[in-house]
Amino acid sequence: MMTEIWDMHIHLDFMRNALEISKEAAVSGLGLFGVTVTPQGYIKSQKELSGLGNVRLGVGLHPWWAADGRCGNDDAFLAANLIRETRFVGEIGLDASPKHVSVSSLPLQIEMFKILCSASAEYSDPYARKVLSIHSVKAGTLMLDILEQTGCFEKCFCIFHWFTGSSDEMNRAVRSGCMFSVNEMMLSTRRGREYVRQLPSDRLLLETDLPPGENIIFSVEEIQSSLNRTLAELSSIKGSDMRSVLKENAQRILFPAHKMQ
């Protein structure tokens, strides 16, 4: 069945039944950009899910895993090496929120993020640019500076997942060509809805950021329900049915004109 809608940020690596979910999603016309939180998680998911046409897997190193010591520079260099073999990178980024991380971890997060961004830009194909799914909390300007300095704006598709930065940071990201993947949690806030109202329709993508924790048995129905609620709210905010626009936006990123990967 042809893929009709893409979830552009989902944690298949958190699901105990990821293979079952991915196969059922294909039958339902659902595509999945599976982001990972460690390079080891990417390797495991890649072995399990390789060959599924409706799945794209990203090499990830989540800033929370960097912040609390679960990942170090060796993991960042492993991820950078893995980036050579795939177009898809994520979840990567920076988080300076004291709710989740120690602010003292920010220098290490920055060092790792620079390694991953540099590799993404260096190994990107101009005809099939690498796709980055980016986590940014209270570090938007710093992150935008790094993406610019490493060449990612020019050489990659940069997608801000669940954007929570300032209005100025959002506008800079738009001017730099970034995309924004939106979930129902983002749309549950007044600021999130206002950002979506302001963002150009051709920069928007759907996501779920599900499941809500690790090592979970999940279902395709839960994914589809979340996407449908987000789609309905997005369409309401924009004043028109956004399904075809969102599909075209995802396809433009996922399927380069000269080849399908």
Q: Give the chain's largest Cα–Cα span.
A: 48
Among the listed residues 118, 178, 183, the one whose alpha carbon sits nearest the alpha carbon of residue 146: 118
**Given this model, what pLDDT does residue 98 score?**
84
Reported as a single tens digit per residue, the pLDDT across 209-242 is 999 999 999 999 999 999 999 999 999 999 999 9
Q: Would you place residue 3 in the very low, low, confident or very high pLDDT band (cuts 50, 70, 90)?
A: confident
Check whether domain 5-254 has CATH 3.20.20.140, yes or no:
yes
Backbone angles phi, psi at 211, to 5 degrees: -80, 175
Neighbours of 257 (CB within 10 A): 8
| Tokens linked to 18 | 């990821």
Distance of CA 158 to CAs 112, 148, 153, 213, Å? 17, 11, 7, 25
Reported as a single tens digit per residue, the pLDDT across 249-260 is 999 999 986 444
| Tokens linked to 227 | 């996407």
**Given this model, what pLDDT does residue 103 score?**
73
Residue 204: helix, strand or coil by DSSP?
Answer: strand
Reported as a single tens digit per residue, the pLDDT across 13-50 is 999 999 999 999 999 999 999 999 999 999 999 999 99
Among the listed residues 190, 188, 184, 173, the one whose alpha carbon sits nearest the alpha carbon of residue 209: 184
Among the listed residues 112, 74, 78, 81, the one whose alpha carbon sits nearest the alpha carbon of residue 95: 112
**Given this model, what pLDDT does residue 121 score?**
98
Residues 6+ apart with CB under 8 A from 254: 6, 31, 33, 56, 131
Q: What percent of the chain is modeled with pLDDT above 90?
A: 92
